[in-house]
Chains A and B, each alone.
Chain A
């Protein structure tokens, strides 16, 4: 009996196969490894100090805004991919003297422009700005003259 796998069954085969392969090696490792837990070992790592509190707490709201902007653009991509494979359809373009491609292109341009406006808005509002470190340049009055450094730099060229 021959069995032909459909395309999506093959994808499932990859997922399950990858899972099984990793489980296999994890089980091998489970057989081989020692199990000697103690309290010190099982504490959360915090540079050797006793950990204070839990990590599950608040974090910066900015991540949320980035996630929102991402969702918008990912949705845009979601629509762009199906469009990308039909707008240049040669049969339809020949049939309509290129009007099909033109129409599809203009429509999608409007869609992209609206989203680009959104990006400009987010940018203008400053949601894309992340904290920058203050760079303090300190001038050091060195007794060593510049030319000595120059000499050293060119020595090995």
Chain B
């Protein structure tokens, strides 16, 4: 219940600042200054954008399939947001403690694809349909390596609950207890996971579904006003979601990265007392800070690499990531049983 009251407002505020951050980060990486007019250093730019989009006329093409067109943004957003239900924020704050945890999460974010297909098909525009077809092919292809990378961690942790995975990474030595340090070979599944998660959230270099130079806006070409904003909201929501999962699975979840060094009890000082408010505040602070760092890396990747071609996208998933992912499943099995 508390998790819901934290995640929903946080997501909405996060999107506003993430859009601003994205524009500033891209500007600094390209030696520009980015938005500067609205507020100090352009800090109010995204608020102005939201206000503007609220007042934009909502255009639904006559040729479109009205029902599908109207429902698609909702399906996309709800499927992404429901994924947040199983994520922990600290030792005590967690939405749903369902034992299926990550299994449920993978299932529900797959519904995103249906929303995208509805948007593309419902628009009855050639650009939208091509964008949606590409998007579906891309998302389903990368779902396999993504699942395999997550599977490696699950095999080592022996649980599907994200909270349990977090609890297994608790310790006085800070980052030493993180999965990626405890099981060094997890760096390979992590890289697979990171690449696949970029593809899942349609981020550059995998933004072929909305390649603006060939497909205008891809599956959301026909959307305008606030409906378009909902699609963008879901994209940023997906970015945050996959970053949080990466943090939970590989980088110690809500645990502090600082170790206890003799009398300098850095880990204890930055973890709070379990069961009290301090633990919740520190836990939430650490998991969200790590996720923000991951999102910065996603933005960094976006403004560093060019978009890949369709054939490269397909062969990367099926010919490289999937076989390597299968191999890593064997490695994890060996490690779990014989190490």
Contacts and interface: CB of A to CB of B under 8 A. Distances in A.
Interface string B213-235: 00010000110011100100100
A7 interface: yes
A131 B7 CA distance: 43
A94 interface: no
A115 to B, nearest CB: 8
A130 interface: yes
Interface residues of A, number: 70
Contacts of B140: 66-67, 70, 74
A55 B124 contact: yes
A24 to B, nearest CB: 11
B326 interface: yes
Contact of B319 (A43, A44, A123): A123
The bracket for how many chain B residues form the interface is 35 or more
Interface in A82-116: 84-85, 87-89, 93, 98, 101-102, 105, 108-109, 112, 116
A83 B36 CA distance: 54
A45 B62 contact: no
B124 A33 contact: no
A26 B96 contact: no
Contacts of A66: 137, 140-141, 314
A119 B160 contact: no
Interface in B319-339: 319, 322-323, 326, 329-330, 333, 336-337
Interface of B is mostly: helix
Nearest to A83: B155
B329 A132 contact: no
B26 interface: no
B333 A105 contact: yes
Nearest to A67: B140
Residue among B3, B8, B155, B330 with the highest chain A CB neighbour number at 10 A: B155
B159 interface: yes
B266 interface: no
Interface of B: 1, 3-4, 7-8, 12, 53-64, 73-74, 77-78, 81-82, 84-86, 95-99, 103-104, 121, 123-130, 133, 136-137, 140-141, 143-144, 147-148, 151, 154-155, 158-160, 216, 221-222, 225-227, 230, 233, 309-311, 314-315, 318-319, 322-323, 326, 329-330, 333, 336-337
Interface of A: 5, 7-8, 10-11, 13-15, 17-19, 21-23, 25-26, 28-30, 32-37, 41-46, 51, 54-56, 59-60, 63, 66-67, 69-70, 73-74, 77, 80-81, 84-85, 87-89, 93, 98, 101-102, 105, 108-109, 112, 116, 119, 122-123, 128-133
Given A15-B78, A89-B158, A131-B311, 17 more contacts: A11-B98, A13-B85, A17-B4, A18-B81, A22-B78, A44-B125, A44-B222, A46-B125, A70-B144, A77-B147, A77-B151, A85-B160, A88-B158, A101-B337, A105-B333, A129-B311, A132-B309
